[in-house]
Structure 1
Amino acid sequence: MNLLGVFLHTLDVTLPVFAMVFLGVLFKRIGWIDAQFVSTASTLVFKATMPTLIFLSIVRADLDVAFKPDVILYFLGFSAFSFFLAWGWAILRCPFADRGVFAQGAFRGNCGIVGLALAASQYGDYGLSLGGILAGGIIIVYNVLAAAILAYYSASAKSGIGSILKHIARNPLILSVLLAIPFAYFGIDLPSWLMTSGDYFGAMSLPLALICIGGTLSFTSVKRGSRLALDASLWKIVWIPLLGVLGALALGFRGAELGILFLFLGSPGAAASFVMAKAVNGNAQLAANVIVITTLASLFTISAGVFLLKAAGLI
């Protein structure tokens, strides 16, 4: 495939995903959706349609193919390592009160929506299956580390180990992964009508979630963006995916596994980081700025990364 072909394929992967985000921006601007719609739709996606999509993708998966312990362990391990890198940088660069929010924004990505959508766009059912397992695992890592760092730097935080474990145990995405693995492992067949209904229901997840992301973006916050927000954004969409890919290459990852690792590591900041920062009376504006900057800029950084990896024949 020549460079033009690689470039066009790259756009085929990234543009459909980010087109949905910009549709959300447009719909919010012309009044077709509002904050109440975004809140209701986000709840529906998180609690129902996304777990259904992940459950069915894993049920259909051949775990001998889709379950990759080495990929999973590397992704979770490197994500935890990137948290400590971001925290160390925050200690050097940030005021004490902002260190927790900075570290969370710099390492926590929107893997469950944007990363999963990109993996599905690039690798189809395999991307959904492996991506669903990665998303379920990383939710645990993100919530534990983010809650801990925010609690450490905020006197008002109430994120004890009990509340963290309760939050993880009730997370619908994690539950859907845990529930689906026995069905896939033992080859348990579900009724065809149930699978078809589930397909209809789960198919709403990614476009609806991406439109909701667009509906929450505020370009005004970009104009008020601080040096810290730009710094955290660079960590999230440039340095962490770059270091993660280099480490993966050194360990011998290639093809779809390397591609999915890059798409997940390069995903923009997670919307949940704003909610958690606000809950502990942290610098919620800093968290919001990171989300907006990384969401807009990741269109270019992810496209560039996919192009370079494909041009080099690595994915």
Structure 2
Amino acid sequence: MSAQVDVLSEIFTVSMPVFVMVIVGMVLKRVRLIDDAFIGTSSTLTFKALMPALLFFGIMQADLHTALQPKLIGYFYLATLLTFAVSWLWSLKAVPAAQRGVYVQGAFRGNCGIVSLALATSLYGDYGLSIGGVMAGLVIILFNVLSVIVLAIYSTSYQADLRSVLRDMARNPLILSVLAGLVASLVGLKLPAWLLVSVKYFTSMTLPLALICVGGSMSLASFIDSGRVAFSASLIKVLWSPLLFVALAWAIGFRDKDLGMLLLFLASPTAAASYVMARATGSDAKLAANIIAVSTALSIVTIMGGLFLLQHFAL
């Protein structure tokens, strides 16, 4: 019993600071110390500057033999594709046609660049940052392509084409920073110590600020008005998909940190970008916001519970 308490205490120590920052964002918004304008500006700063800098310098300084894990990334891609496909098939039976695009996106598109990366860095340090940065950067490509496909099919006012999808991906700061970081690491780019220290100051506010913005963008109304559809999509995202694919990963030989990384990335709550995509395509943005809110709340339990089970069974 004492050993279980120690394991649970360790998991709380590692993971709760991440979720506490989300709660801090909710409280700050509630007491009006931050507002929508602050959240919008901070989100833009995080997406276009802070997060790209964090990913670039983290990968640049990483050992590519460690950061590039084709087997791990390939399995994560496959799990994402299968979650997308199964969610879509289920939606044909259980979800009204007007809500299917948003439902499917909410069920597979995780907040890997913020929540997963923050947890991976907190749990595994530089190892988690380097591998997690590559995983988060590369999966954005898949997230964007699949989201555009399913939203375009069920939207009455949005039509997508291959050129616009490729253009958006080519301009994505996170994708560009990951690719640039890989190139910099391959050529052995070295930067002066003073610049690295300055960059550390700059990027140290990335994850706290991003998590505060996540919390600030949530609302009590979203929880109250979540509904069956939002709850169903959230359960697929943070419970059924990670439960199935982490168990399968263990069965085929994944162990230790790799298994933990898969849990953190598969069980991440629905990405805030899904709300932006829903609005841009004329889909049900209210449902998208509800899914983000519900999945974030549920992920606190599922991620911590999953980490506890992995630790308890020494996996």
Question: Could you tell me the TM-score, scaled by structure 2's length?
Answer: 0.98
Q: Partner residue of 2:290? A: 289
Q: Partner residue of 1:268? A: 269
Q: Please list the CA deviations of residues 67-125 of structure 1 after superposition, one character each: whole Å capped at 9, or x if unmatched.
A: 11100111112111110011111111111111111100011110000010010010001
Specify the code of the residue in structure 2 equivalent to 1:155: T
RMSD: 1.0
Q: Partner residue of 1:15? A: 16
* Structure-to-structure mapping, 1:8-157, within 5 angstroms: 8-157=9-158
1:238 paired to 2:244: no
In the TM superposition, residue 156 of structure 1 has moved relative to its aligned partner by 0.8
Q: Please list the CA deviations of residues 183-232 of structure 1 after superposition, one character each: whole Å capped at 9, or x if unmatched.
A: 21232211212211111111111000000011101111211111111111
Specify the code of the residue in structure 2 equivalent to 1:163: S
Secondary structure of the corresponding residue to residue 66 of structure 2: helix
In the TM superposition, residue 158 of structure 1 has moved relative to its aligned partner by 2.8
- For residues 242 and 62 of structure 1, what CA distance do their matches in structure 2 show? 30
Specify the code of the residue in structure 1 equivalent to 2:195: L
- For residues 214 and 108 of structure 2, what CA distance do their matches in structure 1 show? 19
- For residues 307 and 298 of structure 2, what CA distance do their matches in structure 1 show? 14
- For residues 37 and 158 of structure 1, what CA distance do their matches in structure 2 show? 32
Secondary structure of the corresponding residue to residue 125 of structure 2: helix
In the TM superposition, residue 273 of structure 1 has moved relative to its aligned partner by 0.7
Q: Partner residue of 1:166? A: 167
In the TM superposition, residue 236 of structure 1 has moved relative to its aligned partner by 0.6
In the TM superposition, residue 301 of structure 1 has moved relative to its aligned partner by 1.0
Residue identity over aligned pairs, in percent, reads 50
Secondary structure of the corresponding residue to residue 254 of structure 2: coil
Secondary structure of the corresponding residue to residue 136 of structure 1: helix
Q: Please list the CA deviations of residues 275-299 of structure 1 after superposition, one character each: whole Å capped at 9, or x if unmatched.
A: 1111122111111110000111111
Contact kept? 1:102, 1:228, Cα under 8 Å: yes
Specify the code of the residue in structure 1 equivalent to 2:106: G
In the TM superposition, residue 309 of structure 1 has moved relative to its aligned partner by 0.7
Contact kept? 1:82, 1:240, Cα under 8 Å: yes
Specify the code of the residue in structure 1 equivalent to 2:249: A
Q: Partner residue of 1:313? A: 314
Q: Partner residue of 2:256? A: 255
In the TM superposition, residue 155 of structure 1 has moved relative to its aligned partner by 2.1
Q: Please list the CA deviations of residues 144-173 of structure 1 after superposition, one character each: whole Å capped at 9, or x if unmatched.
A: 000110001112113221111111111111
- For residues 248 and 162 of structure 2, what CA distance do their matches in structure 1 show? 31
Q: Please list the CA deviations of residues 109-144 of structure 1 after superposition, one character each: whole Å capped at 9, or x if unmatched.
A: 100000100100100011000000000111000000
Q: Partner residue of 2:216? A: 215
Specify the code of the residue in structure 1 equivalent to 2:193: S
Secondary structure of the corresponding residue to residue 156 of structure 1: coil
Specify the code of the residue in structure 2 equivalent to 1:131: G
Matched positions, count: 314
Specify the code of the residue in structure 2 equivalent to 1:4: V
Contact kept? 1:49, 1:202, Cα under 8 Å: yes
- For residues 27 and 168 of structure 2, what CA distance do their matches in structure 1 show? 33
Specify the code of the residue in structure 1 equivalent to 2:68: F
Specify the code of the residue in structure 2 equivalent to 1:239: W
Specify the code of the residue in structure 2 equivalent to 1:208: L
- For residues 162 and 288 of structure 2, what CA distance do their matches in structure 1 show? 23
Question: Could you tell me the TM-score, scaled by structure 1's length?
Answer: 0.98
Q: Partner residue of 2:179? A: 178
Specify the code of the residue in structure 2 equivalent to 1:134: M
Contact kept? 1:76, 1:137, Cα under 8 Å: no
* Structure-to-structure mapping, 1:192-203, within 5 angstroms: 192-203=193-204
